[in-house]
Structure 1
Amino acid sequence: MDPPTPWITWAMALWDASLNQNLLHEVTSPFATQAEALVLAWLTPYFGMQGGHFCSGSTIANLTGLWAARDAAGVKTVVASDAAHLSVEKAARLLGLAFVKVPVDALGRLDREQLPDLSDACLVLTAGTTSTGAIDPLDLVGTAKWTHVDAAWAGPLRLSHAHAGKLDGLDGADSVAVSAHKWLFQPKDSALVLFRDLEAANAAISFGGGYLAKPNIGVQGSRSAAAIPLLATLLAWGREGLAQRLDRLMEVADALADAIESSDHLELWNRPQSAINVFRPTNRQSDAFIQAAPAGMLSTCVLEGETWARSVAANPSVDVDLVIESVLAASRANV
């Protein structure tokens, strides 16, 4: 799920390393602090949030969101689907919160009919599950004491004119996690945690110290200036450039799904919800099929005890015709 990064991020990452700015305080990050504020001010309205901060990956973003849920709202339990990212259960365990898994429906989404009592819970909804790209029912936002949306993968679709509606309802969440190193095309260790009530959340997750010029917000102390490469990317591409790339990837995934559905040798699990295709050969020999495909083209996931092939549309420069040709050739070799 990690796309190639644009060249401008390499230049900015090198510049970052030369300055070694530290986001603990403005004096040690004279430009990085401004860059982060600019990026957050530009991005947060798409998610209906007031603000937030960068962190090293959505594992930290999810932990931060659940920490705020515990200390700002007093939740005792975390509820998420079987398909939620493992970082959600990790966060619950680290925070001493009970964790309840809810089965998924036929489309891989959290099954709303099997939800427990949410009056004292943080409900975690996933916008783009890791295995299948499923998007949980976002009309459930607001039904729990705190709602956190793990939008690590599909969150950037909010910037697409064509596909933003897939995440309608997200703006009512209390917190949102987004991985910038996925569909915002940034280097690793770049993610955001966003809050609807920023003041309340920050008050719950801030610590001071005699050696600090101001309170430290969030899990991390020292952290890199990850906003600078993203700011450069957004200045270079704008919303339209980013949206064009996202729309292209959605189209690529649909084209592959069409080819799979037309093949006599392949079975499509479901139409892609967020540019992830899950499929297998009709003879169910998934491992042999994947080995017959070009190395690294396909990964696997296990659904209800059975292995499926998995293709993620993450590279806007992909030659989709070549991908389809390779997948169909592998399916024939596997007959």
Structure 2
Amino acid sequence: MPSIHMDYPDPSFSTANDLACALAYLESPTHISQDLPNQLPEAGIGERQTLDLLAGYVLGGAAHLNAPTALAHMNPPTPWITWAMSLWNASLNQNLLHDMTSPFATQAEAIVLDWLSPYFGMAGGHFCAGSTLANLTGLWAARDAAGVSTVVASEAAHLSIAKSCRLLGLDLIQIPTDQRGRLDPQYLPPLQNVCLVLTAGTTATGAIDPLDLAGQAKWTHVDAAWAGPLRLSPIYADRLKGIDQADSVSVSAHKLLFQPKDAALILFRQLAVANAAISFDSGYLAKPNVGVQGSRSAAAIPLLATLLAWGRAGLASRLEFLMQVADTLAASIEANDRLELWQRPQTGITLFRPLGMSIPTFITKTPPGMLSTCVLAGEVWARAVAANPCVDCDQVIAAITTAVNGNT
């Protein structure tokens, strides 16, 4: 595999194009010269003074998700092209509720959906503010388009599935998982009249449920918030084989599509049928409002710019790099007799634990933001999520080795 460093050999992966990688090495401000007022100011201090004041808070007080050892969460750093597009969006404040208030933004969303939907075997869909709303929308369509009243999902399904069921008045049956964290088919009830939710990349372990079950229920929804973008990689696309038989698919754009927060896609195989079930009309609307949200921002524009800048191959190279980071880390853990690996990573998430040391103690010995924790079968594991293209795997392995050896 290629060297896992910031100078990744793909030219489009250089610091010139991914400025976020370089920013990870800048020292954060350690002192803020002026406190924020305790009450709403009567008179403002002005725009420039406000920027000077808040820089230390917003930038200096932030978590650096692009740091060379950042692997703790499913939160990638964003490429600089998305910052520019997000600034343009904010300055225009367009609203996709009306074509007249978003003439190009509406087209941009349609273009991105036309580009991405075929990778999942879907006909189209729409953007929404996060995959929780995407999952809610998928289950809403299952209820009103297919007439289901019961949802079946694994115990490892995202909590948004349980939230959605409560909001929609749907019964939820949770199925045990197997030893690899996947929904165990032997516990499935009859599927003829239910919505089956399959997860492509569970939150804790990154496991992929058996997607060959897609299409066997009255409605199948695949929560591909985490692993969905792997469909664009020729190397890893088959890990999601069968997803094209689902009725709806959710993908979180602010995870492995590297977009700012509040961007997700809900996709449908039978778009007209789904849209008819989740649309509302009103006298003040020029067209029916589709989905949970009314007003929506132009979240597709930063993704459009990213895909134009990188192309499919550029996106795939970053995804493949991250999967290789996870594999390399897992191999180093297996080779260390002071560490226990849970399983080989399926979608870039590595779980492990030190032997003879508590997890909290171990994590305090590693750089901030490098590891998080999760609980499986009542046991705590350290969790490393390969979501940061700026990560230096050598530094991560060295830090883990130092921590487990008891050095400081």
TM, length-normalised to structure 1:
0.99
Task: Give the residue type in structure 1 aligned to 2:387.
Answer: A
1:37 aligned partner: 110
2:167 aligned partner: 94
Instruction: Give the percent of matched residue pairs that are identical in Structure 1 and Structure 2.
Output: 72
C-alpha deviation, 1:211, in angstroms: 1.2
Consecutive aligned runs of 4 or more in structure 1 exceeding 4 Å deviation: none
1:309 aligns with 2:378: no
2:299 alignment partner, one of 213, 226, 229 = 226
2:142 aligned partner: 69
2:323 aligned partner: 250
Cα distance between partner residues in 2 of 1:249 and 1:134: 16
SS of the residue aligned with 2:405?
helix
1:22 aligned partner: 95
Q: How does 1:178-189 map to 2 (within 5 A)?
A: 178-189=251-262
Task: Give the residue type in structure 1 aligned to 2:259.
Answer: Q
2:277 aligned partner: 204
SS of the residue aligned with 1:44?
helix
1:217 aligned partner: 290
1:138 alignment partner, one of 188, 206, 211 = 211
Task: Give the residue type in structure 1 aligned to 2:89.
Answer: D
Q: Deviations over 1:250-302 (max 9, x none)?
A: 00000000000000111000000000001111236212111111112100000
Ranges in structure 1 where 5+ consecutive residues have no aligned partner:
none
C-alpha deviation, 1:105, in angstroms: 0.1
SS of the residue aligned with 1:39?
helix
Aligned-residue CA RMSD (Å): 1.0
- Give the stretch that moved more between structures: 275-284 or 65-74: 275-284
2:78 aligned partner: 5
Rg bigger for which structure? Answer: 2
1:125 alignment partner, one of 198, 218, 230 = 198
1:108 aligns with 2:181: yes
SS of the residue aligned with 2:394?
helix
User: Matched residue pairs, number?
Assistant: 335
Q: Deviations over 1:26-77 (max 9, x none)?
A: 1110110010010000000001000000000000000000000000000110
Ranges in structure 2 where 5+ consecutive residues have no aligned partner:
1-73
C-alpha deviation, 1:16, in angstroms: 0.3
Q: How does 1:170-185 map to 2 (within 5 A)?
A: 170-185=243-258
TM, length-normalised to structure 2:
0.81
Q: Deviations over 1:176-195 (max 9, x none)?
A: 00000000000000000000
SS of the residue aligned with 1:31?
helix
1:294 aligns with 2:375: no
Task: Give the residue type in structure 2 aligned to 1:9.
Answer: T
Task: Give the residue type in structure 2 aligned to 1:242.
Answer: L
1:276 aligned partner: 349
